[in-house]
Structure 1
Amino acid sequence: MCLATFASEYRVVSKSERAVHRVKLNNDCGFVVKRTRTQPAVVRYVRFSETKNPELFYQSILQLFLTYREDGQLKPAGFEMFEQFYRHGHVRLGDELLHSVKAVVDLNRCKFERDADELDNIQNSIDNDGVLEDAWCELCPEQELERLECIEERRETEQIVEEHVDGIPDLVVNSKDVAHLEKRNNVLNREDGLALVRSLNETQMCIFYQVRQWCLGRVNGAKPDPIHVFITGGAGTGKSHLIRAIQYEANRLLQRGCPDDICVLLTAPTGIAAHNLNAATIHNAFSIGKDVRLPYTPLGEEKLNSLRAKYSSLQLLIIDEISMVDHKLLAYIHGRLRQIKQSGDYSPFGNVSVIAVGDFYQLPPVKGKALYLDDVGVDLWSRLFKVAELKTIVRQKDPVFSELLNRVRTRSKGTPMLDSDIEILKRCETGEVSSALHIFPTNRQVNEHNVVQLLESCPDYVKIEAQDYVNSKKT
């Protein structure tokens, strides 16, 4: 039995429900029972493009429509790609006979995908040509003419009402109640933007022009495929500097026809990282809750309509501090963008280009696995994103100190530091207590340090004992 058949013909049994023929799952995952009173369930699954993402396409159909017990059986030894195993592989099923993998997969797949080619052609036609707005006018021209006349008559009536309202001050609506102004952040003038671009080094400039070339293709109507790039590098290599340059140029090119729309969105997983770049947090930008769990929970229609109106022109998403993003959060970003863009071809991130920036030697996700670690399910990271590494340190002018920082960055826990590095770091000690930001391993040390800094900053203070308090699990 393949995975798609199992999901269609069996259902999960709750703890309180008593079923006679229930089947116990391994690893204490509960019980399932075969559907007898109802029809087999409709199975929803990701459908990747066979031409744009061939490996993900063949991996997904093997997982769904081929009987297997472990992931290694989907690409046995001797097969480098899932497509090779699909076309040339053989398996033994319950009858102990040798069957072609392609024949087994196609037989199971045809049970769940009916008229799949025709539906794909229709979707591609809509994506390429768009929805014909004047289709109703061609079918019923008289009714369309009547509708347009009604709209024109309503406009004339509203105009007459507004003329009467202008003469009665009490009926005039305050403009503050119907409109408001929003300050646009991350806007550079042309002079500052050009200075920012000129300050990029050779590696940064190469990445910058690749993104710029993609933006020009979008503006000129060439419809290039979405880009997925991971920009990494150690501290001081100019990752944030490059982000600002890419954001400036992409906004300048993509916002020509719609200057007030959001074409480029800059996000970060934490509030501090977002504040440093004048960006938005991922959770706030896409209405994702704190408790991120799989399977993906779609967004409700009310909030979804707001996001669709807000991000209708979104073409490029930049995620900073990607090391703190886990597989579940990345899956939710993919799901939200698919809902917002209403992409029916299951393309990654709803056909929105994604630039991820960060360093996996830095902080990992608070809960969950880092993206470079394999995870169960569809891989939205390792096979999709291309790596661009910045190696030149531009923040420190001293090459010796720069090399020291790189060794500290890549050093494992059990590896001893070089004596020369320890001597250089000891020379930096001044003996004075610094007011710079400190990092401590425990909350107690944090509170003690904060109290000392407050007393030094404000010698004249008033101490007030709290009379009421409430225990909170969050604090």
Structure 2
Amino acid sequence: MSLLLQANHKECREENMTVREEMKKLTGIFFNHRQVSVQKAIYRATNIPLTYSSRGFVFVPAHSNSYKFLKPQNVLKEMDPNDENIYMSHLADKYFDRPKEPEFDICMADFASEYDIVSVKKSIRNPRTPIIRLQTLNFAVKKRCNRNAIIRYPYFNRETDRENYFENLLSLYLPIRSEVFDTRQQCVRKVKDIVHENQRKYEAHVKETGETESLFNELSLNMKDNEWAEIVANKEKNNIWSREVEEEDNPNLNVIHKSKKKNTFIDLKQTYFTTDETRPLLESMNKEQQEIFYHVREWCINRLHNPDAEHLRLFTTGGTGT
């Protein structure tokens, strides 16, 4: 990029351009060109794909209030102003307009995953699977040759939005063309079995995820805002205490006995050691000495943060060096 700008700058000087014209030309070069690596240039020159996926995915607008796109502006201008058919057809519309053959008595999830939608105007030479046209729309369906596509669909919370959740569930996993049932009880049982059977194809761990979601929602509703604030405050307080303990020097009480005439007193002085000085002393202790040292140190830390901590009671016995 720098070499290109320098070459154009030199060219502008030779042509005696004004500063405004030169800046305008350099700005156009800067915005219309970019610098890429040699590897990326080779990829683009040879049309090698930068990304590759073995599985495709498709979004299923199963809910009745899903998104819709308007038709192009030139098509809308030619339509009748009173015509309400102003939206383009999406996957749900193509599913409802699918052929009447028995093989298409499937749910919307299977239709989106197993079949690919192609335009009628598109000519495909020697298709590996038959192309079947829809009933009214200018589209056709073709069964996927390799792997089925991964479906994505709107998500609704079962606890807080039950109506939309079950509507989306029925739209996804219940075939529209199904047998007519005699009684309402048989119909409900049959619908439930069909939905669960189709749902297990795409949601293998639906039971575990449902239980986890219900537990999370229950805990979220029961927990108050001030409890979250208390948790955060205590966490910050513990972090401050931990930093203080890590940064402090390990004190050692040196007891010096002094006698003055007949009165005897004890003068307590604190001698501070750095961490580098303390570590060799700790390493020189045996197992029993280290246990006593860390027991006393833990009591000191607890007493520092809790004045009502229980008094230290320690009994040691042994020979010289205990």
What is the TM-score when the length of structure 2 is the normalising length?
A: 0.29
Greater Cα radius of gyration, structure 1 or 2: 2
